[in-house]
Amino acid sequence: MPDGMKTLPAEKSTESPSINNTRLRRFLVLATIKLLKHILPSHGALIFIADKLCIKFGPLRNLPEASTMRFISQHTSIPVPKVYCAFTRKGWTYIVTERIDGEMLGLHWGERSDDSKTKILQQLKKMVAEMRNIPPPRGQTQGICNVDGGPIWDSRLPGTSMCHEPFESVHDFHKHLRGGFDADPNHYDEVSKLIALQDRAWPPPVFTHGDLSSLNILVCGDKITCIIDWETAGWYPSYWEYTAASQVSPMNYFWREEIEKFLDPMPEELEMEAIRQKYFGDF
């Protein structure tokens, strides 16, 4: 190297790493799926092995989910499954975790007493506060990205792909959500309102689960035993947890009445998202 020249620091990779990705583990996981997927209890692309293990696999699974569960376990007291192995092969992702005892919160919510509901929602509120207080990695204080600094994954966002490239700022993310449109006097009034709301000053992103449905919360009695399905998680605008949770599925509609008991209501942001979906829809 010529005198006086300096080496540039290597760019940090944003590709999510495999976990315990040895040849033996890959073989055991793939063989187990092939042998048992028609025998053992399963739910979609999940296979439960006795009461100890769960294998999540498929072409739409994303590897950052494994990184996220490890990250949450290291930085909070939120109960998440322990990750034993995670890798990709031929376009499919495989994640092996422990199986946590508990049933989906939504299964018998209507049968719970008010006291039971209050206890669970208070736990959930504390968990959300823990997530929001995680300091972002150095250099990612303003960006919208997954836990490894890479693309976010959400089937509800507009576009031809479920993966959306990391964004340097909330402003860049908002512009992506509205298809790149800028302010223009010829826009519909609602679109102009949307752009004005999105282009105002926003606080830094906070860590967000992105799908706090009652179907993703496991409980035993009045205790939350696990939060699952972290594929949509990452650094998002501060309102995203609230507006995403408000988009309930028909089988989870009752949950809308409970959201403001563990998340601060943000009516203006909810209206902003409703306008965005109307003109730049998610589906």
Q: What are the tens digits of pLDDT across the range 146-175? A: 999 999 998 778 777 788 989 999 999 999
CATH of the domain at 45: 3.30.200.20
Residue 16 belongs to a domain:
no
Cβ(256)–Cβ(246) below 8 Å: yes
Q: What is the pLDDT of residue 10?
A: 39
Same domain, 94 and 113: no
Same domain, 212 and 245: yes
Same domain, 261 and 156: yes
- Count: domains in the chain: 2
Distance CA 263, CA 129 (A): 9
- Last residue of a domain, which of 76, 98, 120? 98
Same domain, 191 and 129: yes
- Last residue of a domain, which of 75, 98, 121? 98
Q: What is the pLDDT of residue 104?
A: 95
Residue 3 belongs to a domain:
no
Q: What is the pLDDT of residue 160?
A: 74
Same domain, 120 and 214: yes
- Last residue of a domain, which of 80, 98, 116? 98
Cβ(276)–Cβ(195) below 8 Å: no
Same domain, 149 and 70: no
Range of the domain at 39: 23-98
Angle formed by the axes of helices 267-279 and 189-198, nearest 10°? 130
Same domain, 263 and 176: yes
CATH of the domain at 137: 3.90.1200
Same domain, 203 and 66: no
Q: What is the pLDDT of residue 271?
A: 96
Same domain, 131 and 262: yes
Distance CA 94, CA 37 (A): 14
Q: What is the pLDDT of residue 240?
A: 97
Please calculate the CA angle 246-145-269 and round it to the nearest 5 degrees. Answer: 30
pLDDT in tens, 176-209: 999 999 999 999 999 999 999 999 999 999 999 9
Cβ(233)–Cβ(210) below 8 Å: yes
Residue 14 belongs to a domain:
no
Same domain, 92 and 152: no
Series of mean pLDDT values for 10-residue runs along the chain (283 residues): 38 77 95 83 77 88 92 96 95 94 93 97 98 80 88 82 90 94 94 97 96 96 97 96 90 90 97 94 62
Q: Please give the structure tokens belonging to residue 178.
A: 């509205």
